[in-house]
Amino acid sequence: MVSSSKPPFLIRFGAKRLRKFVDNELNDAKRVVIATSCFADLARISKFHVPEELLELVVMNIDPKLREYRHKVSKPIVFTRDMMTKVFNVPSGSRPVERLKNSEHTEMRNMYCDGDRAPIAYLERLLRECADDDVVMIKRSFALLAFATVLFLETNNMVPLDYLGSLLDMNTVDEYAWDEAILAFCMDQVAEFQEKGRLQKEFVKQNPTERAKQFSIGSCLPALVIVYIDHLDFPVEQLHGHVFDYSVPRALHVCNDDFELAMAIDRNKKTLDIGIRDRCNTPYAINVAPPAPQNVPFVQVQPAYQHPPVVQVQPAAQVPVVPQAQIAPHPPHVGPAYIEPHPPHVAPA
């Protein structure tokens, strides 16, 4: 059960900042270049915010070593790297993501530094002011901005320049396993979150009259919450007319109401009434062809860094599936029964 009090932590997740920058501060020429990059879909990310209470509920019930969510008697949710592809549509190559050491490629590092630091605001300035035909600079800088605001963000508002190690050659970026890197980073942050929460509780226990200081966490943890709510089998009567759009990439189609609904149901102590869907009935199904009709619609896997069409998916309980064999053909048109045919004309005797 999520606590009704405000969680004593702050999370920095910059989906809104990234989308606002792309929409309002980049010209059309740069947006066209970004649309051809491996991280193009992040330029269209939804400006969503995950409530802290819901995030705490999910994160505190994850085993980061097993990469598994398990709460009370519900079936577990196992987080996999391809889920990160479905959430963000990032490349899922076979090469491990390479990270630079501080002493490597100092010239490229210095390009993104303002003095001895690399603030996000300075990176945004470089992206705004670079030439419109400098394709490599635009793609590399946008990737770093996506890392700093959504995928590999920290709490200091700095750009994680160590990931330049996999951006040296922009023609090979799609060869790296970015999905695995994101998931591994998330699990590291889960472990850090849980440890800070444990220390915070110990402080409160030892100092009952003092208020614990909020801790900050900067990570991609909202991606795990998206996967979590996509596995919830909401009872129809609790949806109150709300429709979930389960299209992929998920980060482009989730909205604040999705998270608020999940949190409201939990507050009403309905958690145990919500089942956990099997993976084949979620957007993370690995089937290549639709299975037999289930309780929810099948969402086919989209290839990495493609732009799938938007498909509005209704909850299954609201859209009953009728087997094809039961659909009767249209009957031939029959006129109204009350219209009598005209009698044949008979000449007078």
Task: Match 């946008």 to its residue by tokens.
Answer: 142
d(CA 89, CA 252): 10
Q: What type of residue sits at position 63? A: D
Dihedral Cα 19, 22, 24, 25, nearest 10 deg: 140
- What are the structure tokens assigned to 104, written together? 């490597």
Say how far apart CA 106 and CA 117 lie, in whole Å.
13
Question: At residue 112, what are phi and psi to the nearest 5 degrees?
Answer: -100, 10
Enter the DSSP assignment of 176: B
Longest pairwise C-alpha distance within the chain: 120
Q: CA–CA separation, 68 vs 61, rounded Å? A: 8
* Single pTM value for the model: 0.79
* DSSP secondary structure letters along 90-123: --B-SBPPP---TTSSHHHHHHT-BTTB-BHHHH
Q: Classify residue 268 by its DSSP letter.
A: T
* Residues 133/68, Cβ–Cβ less than 8 Å: no
Determine the length of the chain.
349
| Gap between the terminal Cα atoms of the chain | 95
pLDDT (tens place) for every residue of the chain, 349 residues total: 344 456 678 888 999 999 999 999 999 999 999 999 999 999 999 999 999 889 998 999 999 999 999 987 678 999 999 999 999 999 999 999 999 988 888 889 999 999 989 999 999 999 999 999 999 999 999 999 999 999 999 888 899 999 999 999 999 999 999 999 999 999 999 999 999 989 888 888 888 888 878 888 877 999 999 999 999 988 888 888 899 999 999 999 999 999 999 888 767 654 445 788 999 999 999 754 433 333 333 333 343 344 434 344 444 444 444 443 343 344 444 443 433 444 444 444 4
| Cα–Cα distance for residue pair 305/92, rounded to 1 Å | 9
Which of 91, 93, 139 has its CA nearest to residue 249?
Answer: 91
Return the C-alpha torsion angle 296, 180, 36, 308, nearest 10.
Answer: -10
